Amino acid sequence: MSEDVVPDDHQVVITGAVHQPTVTVGRSGAIVADLGTSSDDAAAELARISGEVDARLATRVPVTVATAPIAELFAPHDPTVMQVEALVLWVVDADRYACTPELCGRLVDQLRKHPSIAQTVLVRGEYSERAKAAIAAIQAADIGVRRLTSFGNPPRYPALIEVVRPDRIIVTLGGDAVPRQTFSGLPGGELPMLARAPVLNRLLVEAFDADRTALYTELKGRGWPLIGFAHPGGAVRVATWPNGVTAMPVFADRAMAGKAMAETGLTDPPIVAAPPRVLFAGASGKGMAIAIGAFTDSGEAKYIVLSPDELRQLV
């Protein structure tokens, strides 16, 4: 929407989906509870965001909601509106929540905690079969679901749209409504690549200059894939460090992998992604070392190199 169509005495305020778990309160009092992109710390993030939402709902702010097109929310139009006791919009990576039935159950329990409150879930990410299963579980709790849609370049994903008029604030929801689906269970299966891996990245940074016991314990039991790069022909990409060590660089999540691509000038390379046990077994069998990288707060890329012998022990 371009600014020249907004009347001078009006404002349009858009609260978009973000990457990190965040609670935002709009001008109208509507709450956007964004659970962030897919993460290996999703359970703790859900608990923290849920706690913030519960605290804010202790003081409820009535919200005026409309479903008309935005242009019809400007004065002098008088759109049909609905007054709700409070409004909470959850932004959820549905594919991530479908991976862990217990986590999906915690989300649904949270949604059911406030039955008198108007709530809607906006789902991000690919609309996969696994994501559809999580959506159906949410809808089974009689919660409406919408799919985030983008506009602009770079793209923005509006969750809450507030039209601030001289007389009142009218809100409408971003995204498109998702038709009701039948819940038949969560499919499980292989875990997808994560957008964020705060747990593993924290352990990596701590292990650069300290004991690696906690890192090794995490890697042994980890099911989320590590991400590396390949050449167009399929051979994995390796790098050689100043001390002469050659290894395959891998990363815990898409964010770190994207930073590494930017740092090394790679453009759209083929991706190699596998759980640590699979990746380590393949590399050690070929006598190859693995270098797990992370970026420090200062933006420096650092790596922990695991020799073939260390990889065999971790497998």
Distance in angstroms (rounded) separating the CA atoms of residues 6 and 75: 10
**CATH class, 198-314 region:** alpha beta
pLDDT reported for residue 2: 44
**Cβ-based neighbour number of residue 102 at 10 Å:** 8
Q: If residue 227 lies in a helix (H) or strand (E), which one and from where to where?
A: strand 226-229
- Give the model confidence (pLDDT) of 109-132 as tens digits: 999 999 999 999 999 866 788 889
For residue 124, the model assigns a pLDDT of 87
Measured in degrees and rounded to the nearest 5, phi and psi for residue 197 equal: -135, 65
pLDDT attached to residue 307: 95
Global model pTM greater than 0.75: yes
Q: DSSP secondary structure string, 9-20?
A: T-EEEEEE--SS
pLDDT tens digits, 271-291: 999 999 999 999 999 999 999
pLDDT reported for residue 290: 97
Range(s) within the chain of domains with CATH label 3.40.1350.90 = 198-314
**In the chain, pLDDT over 90 holds for what percent of residues?**
80
